[in-house]
Amino acid sequence: MSDENLTMRRALPEDAPLLFDMIGELAEYEKMQSDVTGTAQMLCDNIKSGLVHALIAEYGGLTAGFALYFFNYSTFKSKRGLYLEDLFVRPSFRKKGIGKALFLQLADLASASGCGRMEWSCLNWNAPSIAFYRHMGARPLEEWTTWRLDEADLKALCANGKDE
């Protein structure tokens, strides 16, 4: 994409408040505001430590969106992978190719980093995102189900799991 209005850059720790604001916008879009329990300071610390990375897209000098990612590992491939935690473009900037540009930059990063794969999750009801990912050549993993223990579940398991 060669739109001179669009620039992308790696997020720095001082971008954490800006990123956290957009995370709030994403949570509102996904109707998951109550799931946001972190803070901008926690995000800042995680960027500083290298635990998490982000790209920020700016369009016409305004913040348009972000992609937040981290590296994981595949035991079968014996290679690291890139996990896209969130990709978000603010509503007023959609349909300008910004999501595609962020996604392609991450794919380039994964390839250049020798990753064996790039993965992410998508809410089943999010038809626009599903269509976008299919258009980009991605496919859902029908044979896999995402499982989760949240923080409360982990505490309960650690407290009660030893008794069994």
Catalytic residues: 133
Total residues found in the chain within this entry = 164
34 three-state secondary structure: helix
Rounded Cα gap, residues 85 and 160, in angstroms: 30
Interacting residues of 122 by C-beta distance below 8 A, sequence separation 6+: 129, 130, 133
Rounded Cα gap, residues 96 and 46, in angstroms: 30
CB 6 within 8 A of CB 101: yes
133 three-state secondary structure: helix
